[in-house]
């Protein structure tokens, strides 16, 4: 591990120890407004420099994507509620728009913690995939007019700006072209509907009704936009995997400790062979997930066949998350699903995280499709 990465990991561990006990997390949930993403520690994240993690130094950030994933893994051990991963994904997209002054200025404010940008790419017709957009942008006197809807956007209500994909076509064009638009959430015509997730986060449906945008809001188009959308999908899968890996590590540790303390028939339940086998299965699943996560991180660094490698890793990580979560609940017994016990919250995070970045069935199909295309 690089020295810079080690220091970053230590800062994440110190933050969790100091600020994010299970009791602290429950207090944050109680204090938040109904159906609202928690942003309580955002200023602290900015002061620690985490809001600029993975962004090139020349754009005001530091570290690389592997550092970003490693920090998200550590913070996953504490089940953080703040929208750090969602913001970092959008910041990565902004960093690709270096020719846009509008995007560069927004990125600077985002790194400083003065604003939050969330990517709003997915639509219900596409399932987990970014797929083809039915959101449309048309010319108008002041620039563009955007109409459509984006669905199940994680942490979308915490955004001050959104990066939105839309198809654009004017009368002189033979076919529509995809573009990415940077939209201020205070713009007229934007409405949001929140839904509580299983793990106490927010999924948001965002509707755009004839939202008028200036010309500068178009920050990427055509091939560059297509590549950015694919990159965003891979980042979502990788960030969800990093968070899940941290949660798996913590849940396994808590389960082993519980098995030592909980007694039945005069013995610690950890001495029962059947439960030892379950915990051994959990350990092996965690090790497989770690290996695939390392491969996933390397795929971004090498930039070779990234999508296929991400999907291959995602299948194993989702399956491991499901096994570890289910075994942990079985070992804890009925208390394992009670709100008072931390293990229940880890189980819920692992269950929900399979859908934030696409579940194993989706990524298995994606992997097979990409492999078939490469063979052809």
Digit-coded pLDDT (tens) for 200-230: 999 999 999 999 999 999 999 999 999 999 9
Q: Which two tokens stand for residue 72?
A: 């998200």
Cα 46 from Cα 341, distance rounded (Å): 31
What pLDDT score was predicted for residue 126? Answer: 66
Digit-coded pLDDT (tens) for 301-346: 887 789 999 999 999 999 999 999 999 999 998 777 888 899 999 9
What three-state secondary structure class fits 146?
strand
Residues 328 and 252 sit within 8 Å (Cβ to Cβ): yes
pLDDT at 156 over 90: yes
Cα 166 from Cα 121, distance rounded (Å): 9
The domain total for the chain is: 3
Q: 347 and 232, same structural domain?
A: yes
What pLDDT score was predicted for residue 269? Answer: 87
pLDDT at 1 over 90: no
What pLDDT score was predicted for residue 169? Answer: 77
What's the whole-number average pLDDT of the chain?
92
Q: 203 and 229, same structural domain?
A: no
CATH number at residue 229: 1.20.140.10
CATH number at residue 102: 1.10.540.10
What pLDDT score was predicted for residue 376? Answer: 58
Query: Which range marks the domain in which residue 90 is found?
Result: 3-115
Digit-coded pLDDT (tens) for 341-376: 999 999 999 999 988 989 999 999 999 998 887 665
Q: 282 and 157, same structural domain?
A: no
| Cα Dmax for the chain | 81
pLDDT at 174 over 90: no
What pLDDT score was predicted for residue 255? Answer: 95
Q: 264 and 136, same structural domain?
A: no
The model's pTM is 0.94
What does the chain come to in residues?
376
Q: 263 and 318, same structural domain?
A: yes
What pLDDT score was predicted for residue 343? Answer: 94
Q: 109 and 125, same structural domain?
A: no
Q: 131 and 166, same structural domain?
A: yes
Digit-coded pLDDT (tens) for 238-263: 999 999 999 999 999 999 999 998 88
Q: 359 and 246, same structural domain?
A: yes
Among 160, 190, 221, give the residue marking a domain's end: 221
What pLDDT score was predicted for residue 24? Answer: 95
| Pick from 319, 231, 290: nearest CA to 76 | 290
Q: 277 and 353, same structural domain?
A: yes
Q: 131 and 71, same structural domain?
A: no
Q: 240 and 340, same structural domain?
A: yes
Extended beta strands in 156-310, E state: 161-168, 177-184, 190-196, 202-213, 218-221, 263-264, 267-268
CATH number at residue 138: 2.40.110.10
Digit-coded pLDDT (tens) for 92-139: 999 999 899 999 999 999 999 999 999 999 987 767 777 778 899 999
Q: 193 and 303, same structural domain?
A: no
Q: Rounded to the nearest 5°, which phi and psi values hold at 338?
A: -85, 145
What three-state secondary structure class fits 261?
helix
Among 194, 221, 248, give the residue marking a domain's end: 221
Among 87, 115, 143, give the residue marking a domain's end: 115
Q: At 172, is the pLDDT very low, low, confident or very high (cuts 50, 70, 90)?
A: low
């Amino acid at each position: 591990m690089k020295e810079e990465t080690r220091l970053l990991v230590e800062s994440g561990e110190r933050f969790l120890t100091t600020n994010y006990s299970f009791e602290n997390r429950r207090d944050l949930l109680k204090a938040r407004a109904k159906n609202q993403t928690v942003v309580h520690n955002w200023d602290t994240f900015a002061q620690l420099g985490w809001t600029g993690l993975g962004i090139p130094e020349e754009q005001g950030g530091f570290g690389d994507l592997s550092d970003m994933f490693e920090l998200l893994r550590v913070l996953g051990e504490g089940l953080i509620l703040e929208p750090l991963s969602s913001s970092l994904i959008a910041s990565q997209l902004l960093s690709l728009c270096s020719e846009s002054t509008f995007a560069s200025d927004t990125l600077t404010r985002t790194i400083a913690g003065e604003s939050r940008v969330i990517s709003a790419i997915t639509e219900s017709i596409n399932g987990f995939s970014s797929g083809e957009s039915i959101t449309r942008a048309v010319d108008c006197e002041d620039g563009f007019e955007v109409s459509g809807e984006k669905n199940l956007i994680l942490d979308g209500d915490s955004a001050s700006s959104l990066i939105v994909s839309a198809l654009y076509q004017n009368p002189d064009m033979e076919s529509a072209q995809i573009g990415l638009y940077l939209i201020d959430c205070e713009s007229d015509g934007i409405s949001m509907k929140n839904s509580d997730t299983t793990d106490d986060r927010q999924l948001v449906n965002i509707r755009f009704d004839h939202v008028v945008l200036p010309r500068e809001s178009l920050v990427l188009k055509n091939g560059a936009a297509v590549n950015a959308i694919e990159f965003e999908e891979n980042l979502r899968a990788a960030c969800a995997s990093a968070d899940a890996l941290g949660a798996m590590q913590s849940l396994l540790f808590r389960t082993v400790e519980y098995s030592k303390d909980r007694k039945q028939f005069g013995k610690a339940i950890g001495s029962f062979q059947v439960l030892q086998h379950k915990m051994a299965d959990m350990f092996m699943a965690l090790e497989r997930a770690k290996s695939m996560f390392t491969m996933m991180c390397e795929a971004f660094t090498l930039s070779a066949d990234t999508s296929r490698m991400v999907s291959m890793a995602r299948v194993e990580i989702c399956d491991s998350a499901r096994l570890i979560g289910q075994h942990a609940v079985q070992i804890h017994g009925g208390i394992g699903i009670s709100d008072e016990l931390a293990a229940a919250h880890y189980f819920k995070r692992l269950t929900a995280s399979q859908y934030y970045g696409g579940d194993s069935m989706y990524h298995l199909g994606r992997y097979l499709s990409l492999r078939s295309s490469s063979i052809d």
